[in-house]
Amino acid sequence: MDNFAAAVSAIEDLKRQAIIEEYAVGGAMALTFWAEPTTTFDLDVFVLFRSDSDSDLVTLEPIYRWARERGYQAKSEHIIIQSLPVQILPAPTPLAREAVTEAVELDYAGQPVRVIRPEYLIALALDGSARTKKRLARVAMLLEEAEVDHRLLTQLLERYNLRLPEFS
């Protein structure tokens, strides 16, 4: 098992410990898995917390406590797991929550890893303040290179009132 698989296994442990309800890899690593390798220095992991929580206010403290107990160092907004900076992000919007729920399990050398589907990556990149030039470039890359379910993508764009940019 390499360090990437070990990091994913550690994240799976968050679920086993019921600290989170679900997770999915997003960002540039998800893009790498669906299309071509792309430069990134961290692993973005979107998480859902248990829905039986009494409060809407999300705290990452249980995750940081879990990290401390396992000797993983926290650096700014990252937790260093097996030398990889992992950014754990509570899914902030209904679209992001759905993206985590609908993520698919890929096989990383025998280690299961849940990854946000390309259609959701596209929709997330088009959503509100996330719509930066860098993310629009990722949309173009996914549309060109990934196996995108265009029916699902169209449904998502309609349901969340999003639109694809004009690519010339």
Partner 1 sequence: MTTRIPSAMRARLRQGKRDLRLARRSMSLPDKVREVVELQKIAVTTIRRRRPLKDIERVWTIDRR
State in angstroms the smallest separation of the CB of 89 from partner 1.
Answer: 15
Return the structure tokens found at 98: 């759905």
State in angstroms the smallest separation of the CB of 18 from partner 1.
Answer: 27
Residues in contact with partner 1 by CB under 8 A are 1-6, 29, 32-33, 35-42, 75-76, 78, 83-85, 106-109, 113, 145-146
State in angstroms the smallest separation of the CB of 9 from partner 1.
Answer: 12
C-alpha distances (whole Å) from 12 to each of 4, 5, 23, 162 are 12, 10, 8, 32
Nearer residue to partner 1 within complex by CB, 12 or 32: 32
Q: What is the H or E stretch that residue 161 is in?
A: none
Nearer residue to partner 1 within complex by CB, 1 or 58: 1
State in angstroms the smallest separation of the CB of 120 from partner 1.
Answer: 18
Nearer residue to partner 1 within complex by CB, 107 or 166: 107
State in angstroms the smallest separation of the CB of 43 from partner 1.
Answer: 9
Nearer residue to partner 1 within complex by CB, 27 or 153: 27
Nearer residue to partner 1 within complex by CB, 108 or 160: 108
